[in-house]
A = this chain, B = another copy of it.
Amino acid sequence: MSVRAGIVVTGTEVLSGRVADQNGPWVADRLLTMGVDVAHITVCGDRPADLLAQLRFLAADDVDLIVTTGGLGPTADDLTVATVADFCGRALNLDAELEAHITAIIDRWMKRRNAQPDSSPLRAGIRKQALVPDGAVPIPPTGTAPGVAIPVDGAGMPTILVLPGPPRELQAMWPTALDTPPVRDALAARIDHRQEVIRAYGLSEADLAETLRLADDTISGVGDLEVTTCLRHGELEMVTRFVAEAAPAYAELAALIAEHHGKQVFSTDGSTIDDQVVAALSGRTIATAESCTGGMVAARLTDRAGSSAYLVGGVVAYANEVKSGQLGVPAAMIAEHGAVSEQVAAAMADGAADRLGADVAVSTTGIAGPGGGTDIKPVGTVCFGVAVSGRPTATWTRYFPGDRANVRMLSTVAAMHLVAGVLDDPS
């Protein structure tokens, strides 16, 4: 018997699609990783009736824990605490200590901004945020909005954890929230699950599905593994959740996949291709020379803290004059082979390594579309080069499906895999 949870995401801006919800997936992932079974995520606007309907639905569907996100601000349209209290039949009480705490935070902010606004709506907002349902445990704010944990009651009401909407505030509050007695009690009955991730590149969902069917027929206990596969950003990810007793079945499944798709599997330890590129560089520096990806490869290589240790820089060479002027690609080569050619890709990589003084360089030049395609080089054609000092420069041509954004995204991912592949190859 596992613990079941439901997540309620509030906010008209999320419901209407103007802001992408980050909280539902984040909370779901945390709960799943802890062995909680997430049954539902629901999204509603800032309307108490819709929120009430969703809370009633989740309670009726027998979840043990409801996590709500959003609607904790000081203004009138932020109604989550009042609505949840109404749902639970608990009165709201002013928590004087909490009020003083929020007031101190706001006063510090105001002082920093040198602001002296009319304080009466401000104080009213703070008082609203300091209201706590009867018997609930307040969670100190990480921004200005406190959270609330409401214990399960005898009347079949689940435990409810009320969290703020800004993802940074929610995530900062999470550890404290888990440690409140109501949430600790709700999670006590959870079953520990393991989760393993296998990542592959250049493997189709259909081919993996065939191997999984083979596993169904040949591995005993495979039914106890909860396998999800999904293709994202050109990589195929297989996530398996299982209880400790099913570990031998998972080991057999992992071996079967290694046997059939060993060349495509690039990660079984949770590492991403970004992790692997950094590891494979192992102290060497890298530069980029990008045409169709327009800076996306460099942006990706500088995503993480400390990237200045390996990324020296890059050139976005969109115009042919920039390919020649900044990277030394001969104009005659561009005229003869075209800007989208392995010759030019190689010259771009060589030029970047040479001129920017890097040990390794990666280049992209392709037709992202929608215009510019020909019969021989259709939209989606992309050439790559990887230069490593002391070795011949390698080049590839790939054909990617989809629109401009997709071609650019898949090209960026391909560049990362090509770099990792070349650096891992001992030759």
Q: Which residues does A use to contact B, with CB under 8 Å?
A: 12-21, 24-26, 28-29, 32, 38-45, 50, 53-54, 57, 61, 75, 121, 168, 209, 213, 228-230, 232, 237, 239, 288, 290, 293-299, 301-308, 311-319, 321-322, 325-326, 355-357, 369-371, 402-405, 408
Contact = CB atoms under 8 A, between A and B. Distances in A.
B311 A318 contact: yes
Given A307-B318, A308-B319, A318-B308, A16 B32 contact: yes
A18 B239 contact: yes
Contacts of A322: 312-313, 356-357
A239 B13 CA distance: 9
5 closest A-B pairs (Cβ-Cβ)?
A17-B25, A295-B295, A294-B302, A295-B298, A313-B322
Contacts of A317: 313
Copies in the complex: 2
A115 to B, nearest CB: 9
Nearest to A285: B319
A198 B332 CA distance: 50
A286 to B, nearest CB: 10
Of listed A43, A121, A307, A311, residue having the most chain B CB within 10 A: A43
A418 to B, nearest CB: 18
A401 B101 CA distance: 22
A171 to B, nearest CB: 11
Nearest to A310: B318
Given A43-B43, A294-B303, A308-B319, 5 more contacts: A15-B41, A16-B239, A40-B50, A294-B301, A316-B316
Contact of A38 (B16, B296, B302): B16
Contacts of A237: 18
Contact of A293 (B53, B297, B299): B299
Contacts of A168: 402-403
A27 B311 CA distance: 40
Contacts of A369: 305
A52 to B, nearest CB: 10
A40 B16 contact: no
A316 B313 contact: yes
Nearest to A166: B231
A367 B43 CA distance: 36
23 contacts: A15-B28, A16-B29, A16-B228, A17-B25, A39-B45, A39-B53, A54-B57, A288-B316, A293-B299, A294-B298, A294-B307, A295-B314, A298-B316, A305-B371, A308-B318, A313-B316, A313-B318, A314-B316, A314-B318, A315-B326, A325-B357, A326-B326, A326-B355
